[in-house]
Amino acid sequence: MQALEEKLGYTFRDPALLDNALTHSSYANENRAAGAQSNERLEFLGDSILGMVTADYLYRTHPDLPEGDLTRTRAALVCEESLVEVAQAWGLGQFLKLGRGENAGGGRTRPSIQADAVEAVLAAVFLDGGIAPARQIIQTYILDAEAERGRNRDYKTALQELVQRESGQVLRYCLVGSSGPDHAKVFAVEVELNGNTVGRGQGHSKKEAEQNAARAAIAALEGKGK
């Protein structure tokens, strides 16, 4: 378990919590007489912790996003695909305790099992050391990673590609305000689609504000398409 703790950047005071977090129900069912318990209860708790930390982060770092966009962004961050990426970064599959059948059937690489185990591990960290280390792990492996992807993404181009799926679509970026002193000015931009505002963003440059407006528009338009 030491290798996993090194990945987490956290050492358990109660190693039994981590052991429980890695115990799949198939293993627990086969070893019930020995007192094995599945990680399902920890998964339940970890899901709430992950959602709360992510919601807090989005609320504080994206003051321009309305409730609907915040909800969609949080859902994207805590989805199974995102958690599987975390599991792979931890090498979590090798540490899982699976029943014989689940192990033979490729359970160590099954996305649902890996994602659930990530949530269980987060809960185990929370129970062992409190919210601070759990928050730090979420920040490092989910929130910072997403922010880095965001910095590398051209949201204006992505929005243009999205709306061009239908012909005759017209995008327009409008500077609607600015505030603050010259050395720290904040610009506000709205992006319109066919004359209707579909996104709003702020930034310390017009370019940054336009990128944030495009990001908000993508979230809004993709949400309507679901």
**CATH number for 32:** 1.10.1520.10
* 38 and 135 fall within a common domain: yes
The pairing of beta strand 196-203 with beta strand 171-179: unpaired
> Which of 109, 136, 151 lies at the terminal end of a domain, its last residue?
151
Residues 123, 93 share a domain: yes
Please tell me the total count of domains within the chain. 2
Q: What is the pLDDT of residue 1?
A: 84
* 36 and 109 both lie in a single domain: yes
Domain end position, chosen among 136, 151, 166: 151
Domain boundaries, position 26: 2-151
Structure tokens at 126: 């929370």
Structure tokens at 162: 């999205």
Q: Which pair of structure tokens corresponds to residue 121? A: 């591990």
- At residue 148, does pLDDT exceed 80? no
Torsion of CA 154, 159, 165, 166, to 10 degrees: -150
Domain stops at, among 88, 117, 151: 151
Say yes or no: 108 and 171 in one domain: no
Does residue 187 sit in the same domain as residue 162?
yes
Give the chain's mean pLDDT. Answer: 90
Least-confidence region, from 19-23, 29-33, 35-39, 212-216: 212-216
Q: Which of 47-51, 86-90, 200-204 has the lowest mean pLDDT?
A: 200-204
Residues 70 and 93 in one domain: yes
Residues 165 and 145 in one domain: no
Question: Quick check: 226 pLDDT over 50?
Answer: no
Rounded CA gap, 144 and 61, in Å? 12
Residues 11 and 84 occupy one common structural domain: yes
Q: Exposure string (b/e) for 110-143, b if CB count within 10 Å is 16 or more?
A: beebbbbbbbbbbbbbbbbbeeebbbbbbeebbb
- What average pLDDT score do residues 192-204 get? 91
Mean pLDDT computed over 108-120: 96
Percentage with pLDDT > 90 across the chain: 63
Tell me the mean pLDDT in the region 103-126. Answer: 96
pLDDT at 51: 96
Residue whose tokens read 């993508």:
218
The model's pLDDT over 28-42, given as tens digits with 9 standing for 90+, comes to 999 999 999 999 999
Q: Report pLDDT for 81.
A: 86
Q: Is the same domain home to 26 and 50?
A: yes
Active-site residues, by number, are: 47, 119
Same domain, 112 and 159: no
Output the pLDDT for position 68: 80
Amino acid occupying residue 7: K
Asked if residues 188 and 208 have their Cβ atoms less than 8 Å apart, the reply is: no
- Report the 3 state secondary structure along the chain: CHHHHHHHCCCCCCHHHHHHHCECHHHHHHCHHHCCCCCHHHHHHHHHHHHHHHHHHHHHHCCCCCHHHHHHHHHHHCCHHHHHHHHHHHCHHHHCECCHHHHHCCHHHCHHHHHHHHHHHHHHHHHHHCHHHHHHHHHHHHHHHHHHHHHCCCHHHHHHHHHCCCCCCCEEEEEEEEECCHHHCEEEEEEEECCEEEEEEEECCHHHHHHHHHHHHHHHHHHHCC
Tens digit of each residue's pLDDT (9 = 90 or more) over 59-103 = 988 887 778 878 878 888 888 988 999 999 999 999 999 999 999
Mean pLDDT on 6-24 = 96
Please state, in angstroms and rounded to a whole number, the distance separating the CA atoms of residues 87 and 212: 29
Predicted TM-score of the model (pTM): 0.69
106 shares a domain with 22: yes
Q: Is residue 47 located within the same domain as residue 159? A: no
Query: Could you tell me the CATH number of the domain that includes residue 173?
Result: 3.30.160.20
